[in-house]
Amino acid sequence: MNSPLVPARNISSTLQEEVLSVVLPSGLRVMFCPKPGFKKRYACYSTFYGSVDNSFIDHNGAECRVPDGIAHFLEHMLFETEEGNVSDLFSRNGAYNNAATSFTTTTYLFASSDRFYENLKLLINFVEKPVFHPDKVEKERGIIDQEIKGYGDEPSWVSYMGVLENLFAKHPMRIDIAGTSESIQEIDSDLLHRCYRTFYSPRNMILFVVGDLDASELFDFVAANSVAPDGASVARPVERRYPDESPGVFRSEAQREMAVALPKLLVGFKDQETPMTGVDAVLHELTSELALEILFGRSSDTYQSLYEQQLIMDDFGASYSQGAGVGYAMVGGDTPEPDRLHDVLYSSLNERLTAGINAEDFDREKRRFIGGFIASFNSLEYIASHYTYYEFHEFNLFEAVDLLSRVTLDSVMDRLRSLVDASRSTRFTIEPRS
């Protein structure tokens, strides 16, 4: 059967990959990356909606402020269908499934080798036909409360959120993705419906499939099984509201005692003037990641020195994240001497900012960074998740390699000077409980 939908083609000769895409009448974007010869097929259904989206204009045009953690609560509720828990249904079909809510997105996914279209129909149905019975909402509230308490016992998550709470005074990036035990008590069926109608609009979602499949058959199948809600084609674009955030950090340091064998130190840096979407946003993000890798990666002089001094363990690392108009860097890990590690880190930073980056080190790390990016395309999950992420931010993932080639030593140094500013830094320490 020939599909009436004519897909657009996005081809990368560098990566030797292509993505075909169509937009259904509902506004849903359906994307497919062919992988001939791969036995596993993978699909993810994502909405550009995360935990930071707690203040917005709803589908009726009304101002809305919802309890913290509702995006994550909504993710949990979609798993409860009239036929039972959707994970059990996937298991019967021999598929692995999962879901995740981040600060900015929510994704539902599965992977299977057989019975792919049965599983794809199941994915589409449970995402598009939610059930918010009050008794199931109450049941899920208890489960999520236990999950929140469990995260409170995870040193890595506690330190990560501790840095964010230090960095941001008002922005919802400082709020735990799952909310709090108190905030989830305010969530009910009506609020879940309201958020679903606003953010699970087809125009705000992407269905991405990757594997060895026939493109026409796939697009026909999705078009036949995806049911657009009433008014989807004329639904209003999502309008989000984020508070104005001051350039300085909210708190310069904090610490907590936990049942750990070694102390843990995380140093955070608050970025400024973070682009929201497009080429500028992605270039900003990639340059930041490369700069931190050069500075703190395992082949860097700083890492080798810290390791030889026995100030860091294998979990030491640095990362950069951005979204919803803010950005931040974090560096650290387990350490026997958090105060000394803190001082040495700042000393290394000042030295590098003064002396600059060696041109040979820059060229080597840039080549390795690009090589790692290209190698990631062997992963079906990477292709689907990252293509979707960048699509939400109005950028073509295949152009990232060319974008990385434009990164220069001077641009990395400029990015470092702006990002790792001591006046916009904080520290969070976890000490062993006495």
| Distance from C-alpha of 106 to C-alpha of 119, rounded to nearest angstrom | 19
Element (H, E) at 224: helix 215-225
Q: How many CB atoms are closer than 10 A to CB 2?
A: 6
For residue 268, list its beta bridge partners: 330, 426
Residue 101 burial by CB count (10 A; 0-12/13-18/19+): exposed, middle or buried? buried
For residue 34, list its beta bridge partners: 211
DSSP 91-124: HHTT-EEEEEE-SS-EEEEEEESS-HHHHHHHHH
Q: How many CB atoms are closer than 10 A to CB 234?
A: 8
Phi and psi at 112, nearest 5°, equal: -155, 155
289 is catalytic: no
What secondary structure letter does DSSP report for 153?
A: T
Phi and psi at 243, nearest 5°, equal: -70, 155
Residue 353 burial by CB count (10 A; 0-12/13-18/19+): exposed, middle or buried? middle
Q: Do the Cβ atoms of 387 and 379 come closer than 8 Å?
A: no
> Which of these is catalytic: 17, 75, 128, 293?
75
Both tokens assigned to 129: 């036909």
What amino acid occupies position 144? I
| Distance from C-alpha of 89 to C-alpha of 200, rounded to nearest angstrom | 22
What secondary structure letter does DSSP report for 383?
A: H
| Distance from C-alpha of 36 to C-alpha of 6, rounded to nearest angstrom | 21
Please state the separation of Cα 421 from the chain's center in Å.
25
> From its phi and psi, is residue 211 left (phi > 0), alpha (psi between -120 and 50) or beta?
left
3-state secondary structure at position 84: strand
| Distance from C-alpha of 338 to C-alpha of 332, rounded to nearest angstrom | 9
- Count Cα neighbours of 257 within 13 Å in the Cβ-side half-sphere: 3
Residues annotated catalytic, as ranges: 75
